[in-house]
Amino acid sequence: MRAREIHAGLQLLDRQVVRVGTGGLVCKVDDLELQGDPPYVSAILAGPLALGPRVGGLPGWLMVQVTRLFRPEEDPQPRRIPMHLVNEIGSAVVVGGEPAEPALERWLRENVIARIPGSGGEGPPYAEPEHATGHAPRISALLGRRVTDAEGTVVGKVADVRLCQDGPLLHGVQNAFRIAGLVVVPERTGKLFGYERGPGGQAPWLVRAVITRWFSGSALVGWDQVDASSARFETPEVRLTVPARDLAPLTDLYEREPRG
C-alpha cells in the first residue's frame, strides 16, 4: 500500500483548523513545526508569531512586535497544536482533544474581561497554552529558498515541500508526516496552484498548455538528495548532492487516471 503524500504549501498552510464534531473554528495553519532527523511535522503553529515571519518585511515585523507587547513571557512563541490531536486533513484540518486557548485571547480574558462584574470570564475554558518548543525549525524556512546542485548550478527555488505519511515511526500519531522531498521551480515562477501536480496533469487544455511551458524547468528533489547541512537548516540555500540532470521532472507527480 502506497503511503499518503501531501504538499505542505498546497494542502496544509493557510487551511482552517476546526474541531471534530462541531466544526467550530480553532485557528488557521500559519506554519508547521519540524522535529527529528529526517524532519517530521510535529505541530501546527498558529497566530501572529507564526504568520509574521512568513509574511516578512515590515508588515511581518510589525505583526510580531505588536503581539510581543501583549505577551508577558520572556520569549513568547506561537500557539502550538501537536499533530497527535489531528484527526483528518482535507479541505480543513480537523482536530480533537482540547486545543489550547491562544495566548492573546487568554491575556485579554484574564486581565480585562475577568475584571468586568458578571462577565463570567474568570474560569479557564481551555487547556493551558502549549507553545512551540524552543526555536524548532519551521516548514516555511524551506519555502522560497534557492536550490543549487552538486556542481554549484542554481536549479531554482523551493515552491513546496512534499510530506509522506509515516505513522509507524511516530507511535500514536495518526497523521505523522515526514519530509519526503521538495518541489523546485525556476526562480522566475510565481505561486503554484496545483494544476501542475495532477491528477494526471488534467486541466482545461489552454491552462494545461500554459502550465506545461511555464513549469518546464521544474523538478522533484528527494530528501535523500539534499546535503546534510542543508537538511539541518544550517545553510542559507538548499544544496543538493546530485547534479540537476539527475533530478526527476515535476510530471512524475501526476497521478494515474483510474481506468473504467
Query: What is the model's pLDDT at position 200?
Result: 47
Indicate the SS3 state at residue 168.
Answer: helix
* Structural domain containing residue 108: 5-115
Could you tell me which residue, 205 or 82, shows the higher pLDDT? Answer: 82
- Asked if residue 159 and residue 236 are part of one domain, the reply reads yes
Query: What is the model's pLDDT at position 167?
Result: 59
pLDDT band at 256 (very low <50, low <70, confident <90, very high): very low
- Asked if residue 243 and residue 156 are part of one domain, the reply reads yes
- Asked if residue 97 and residue 153 are part of one domain, the reply reads no
- How many domains is the chain built from? 2
Domain CATH code at residue 185: 2.30.30.240
pLDDT, tens digit, for every residue of 131-172?
A: 555 578 999 999 999 999 999 999 999 999 999 987 554 555
Sign of CA dihedral 161, 165, 171, 173: positive
pLDDT band at 105 (very low <50, low <70, confident <90, very high): low
Q: What is the DSSP letter of 226?
A: B
Distance, in Å, from the CA atom of 77 to the CA atom of 117, rounded to the nearest integer, reads 31
Query: What is the model's pLDDT at position 260?
Result: 41
- Asked if residue 40 and residue 105 are part of one domain, the reply reads yes
Contact 162, 182 (CB under 8 A): yes
State yes or no: pLDDT of 93 exceeds 90.
Answer: yes
